[in-house]
């Protein structure tokens, strides 16, 4: 049902379109043009205006028979740095970037597979319920596109997010909850050479705090990181303000709260040690989810994989995805591996055979669920 030449051409075109978070309009326009040519109902929501981006989520509705479940297939349009001026090249069945950039298969492999599903639904007749194809924005910077979707209008029974790591056949059935932990240290500026005694060093406060924290792999299902420090104006000025940005993740809410609590304590104590002040902000980035091989949503995917000679692999992921958001609002969602390797690096690559398998899998999931 899928067409390899079309899949390859669409991926190569999409890969060349710059689409960093909040800058996905070129990809959205590409998708809208392709989808409108199929005669399906496609629209762009207002998420771009809400998050300061140049476009919103692209949403496609393919009407179906109400006796069958309503399904969502979703992929995100944005990519990470270095992601400008990507030039993809296909050689010996593998697609790589020719320059010093990522390839963008995370998640344009998913985007192409979901787009191909639109073609398959148009060109072939088999039973299905309502199908929504959703291409989200700003996934890489906090799942912002999914968080701003109006899910009340969709009424979906299941959602398959096409954005997982590893070879096709992988199913992410468990993902963590994550907290953002951000702090602003406020000291007192002074001349570092003339009157250092009059100053209060906000960078020193932050450094003391971070040095006491337990970071990295805390336990099997819990991690923590400080990823950003911004502070100071010049080497001869005692820095008045320093910003620290971090996170903690865990499959256990109890362990997440414990890790977050110890990080907050050290931030407060670091400020006290040098008589600085600190404002600590803790915000839930997303909630986790957990399914088993007995869960209907996973069983459907596993059965579909076996029909096309794929060996299902159920695994837990330490990362978040739009699936976290769908589960939070009551739509069971799992994440399907797209076949890309070395995502978020300049060594990223995509085996063409994997992309073909992915495109074949999505309609097979529909057929399995609807008994077609």
Q: Around Cβ 130, how many Cβ atoms within 10 Å? A: 19
Alpha helices in the chain (DSSP H): 4-15, 25-36, 47-51, 105-123, 144-147, 202-212, 253-273, 296-307, 322-328, 352-370
DSSP output for 264-294: HHHHHHHHHHTT-EEEEEEEEEE--EE--TT
Q: Kindly list the strands in the beta sheet with 216-219, ordered across the sheet, starting from the edge strand earlier in the chain.
A: 216-219, 222-231, 241-250, 177-186, 277-286
Contact 129, 69 (CB under 8 A): yes
Alpha helices in 125-252 (DSSP H): 144-147, 202-212
Handedness of CA 156, 162, 164, 168 (dihedral sign): positive
As a whole number of angstroms, the distance between CA 231 and CA 134 comes to 39
Question: Which of 139, 165, 167, 354 is the catalytic position?
Answer: 139
Question: Which of 23, 24, 78, 140 is the catalytic position?
Answer: 78
User: Hey, is 340 helix, strand or coil?
Assistant: strand
91: exposed, middle or buried (C-beta count within 10 Å: 0-12, 13-18, 19+)? exposed
Q: What Rg do the C-alpha atoms of the chain give, in angstroms?
A: 23
Please indicate whether residue 78 is annotated as part of the active site. yes
As a whole number of angstroms, the distance between CA 197 and CA 292 comes to 60
As a whole number of angstroms, the distance between CA 245 and CA 319 comes to 18
Please indicate whether residue 163 is annotated as part of the active site. no
Task: Give me the active site residues, please.
Answer: 78, 139
């Amino acid at each position: 049902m899928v067409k390899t030449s079309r899949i390859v051409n669409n991926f190569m075109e999409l890969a060349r379109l710059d689409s960093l978070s909040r800058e996905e309009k070129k990809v959205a326009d590409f998708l809208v043009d392709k989808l409108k040519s199929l005669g399906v109902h496609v629209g762009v929501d207002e998420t771009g205006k809400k998050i300061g981006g140049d476009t919103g989520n692209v949403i496609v509705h393919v009407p179906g028979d109400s006796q069958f479940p309503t399904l969502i297939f979703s992929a995100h349009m944005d990519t990470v740095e270095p992601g400008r001026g990507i030039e993809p090249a296909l050689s010996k069945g593998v697609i790589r970037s020719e320059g010093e950039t990522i390839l963008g298969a995370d998640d344009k492999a998913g985007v192409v597979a979901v787009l191909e599903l639109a073609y398959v639904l148009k060109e072939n007749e088999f039973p299905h319920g309502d199908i929504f194809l959703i291409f989200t924005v700003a996934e890489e910077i906090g799942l912002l596109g999914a968080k701003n979707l109006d899910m009340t209008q969709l009424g979906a029974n299941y959602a398959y997010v096409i954005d997982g790591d590893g070879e096709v056949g992988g199913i992410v059935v468990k993902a963590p909850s994550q907290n953002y932990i951000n702090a602003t240290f406020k000291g007192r500026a002074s001349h570092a050479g003339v009157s250092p005694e009059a100053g209060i060093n906000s960078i020193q406060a932050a450094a003391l705090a971070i040095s006491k924290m337990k970071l990295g792999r805390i336990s099997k299902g819990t991690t923590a990181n400080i990823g950003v420090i911004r502070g100071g104006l010049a080497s001869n000025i005692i820095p008045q303000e320093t910003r620290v940005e971090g996170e903690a993740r865990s499959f256990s809410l109890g362990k997440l709260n414990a890790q977050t609590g110890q990080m907050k304590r050290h931030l407060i104590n670091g400020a006290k040690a040098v008589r600085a002040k600190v404002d600590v902000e803790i915000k839930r980035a997303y909630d986790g989810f957990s399914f088993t091989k007995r869960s209907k949503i996973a069983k459907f995917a596993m059965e579909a994989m076996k029909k096309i000679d794929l060996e299902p692999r159920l695994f837990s992921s330490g990362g978040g995805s739009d699936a976290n958001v769908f589960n939070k609002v009551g739509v069971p969602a799992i994440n399907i591996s797209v076949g890309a390797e070395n995502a978020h690096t300049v060594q990223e690559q995509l085996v063409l055979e994997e992309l073909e398998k992915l495109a074949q899998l999505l309609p097979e999931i529909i057929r399995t669920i609807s008994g077609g």
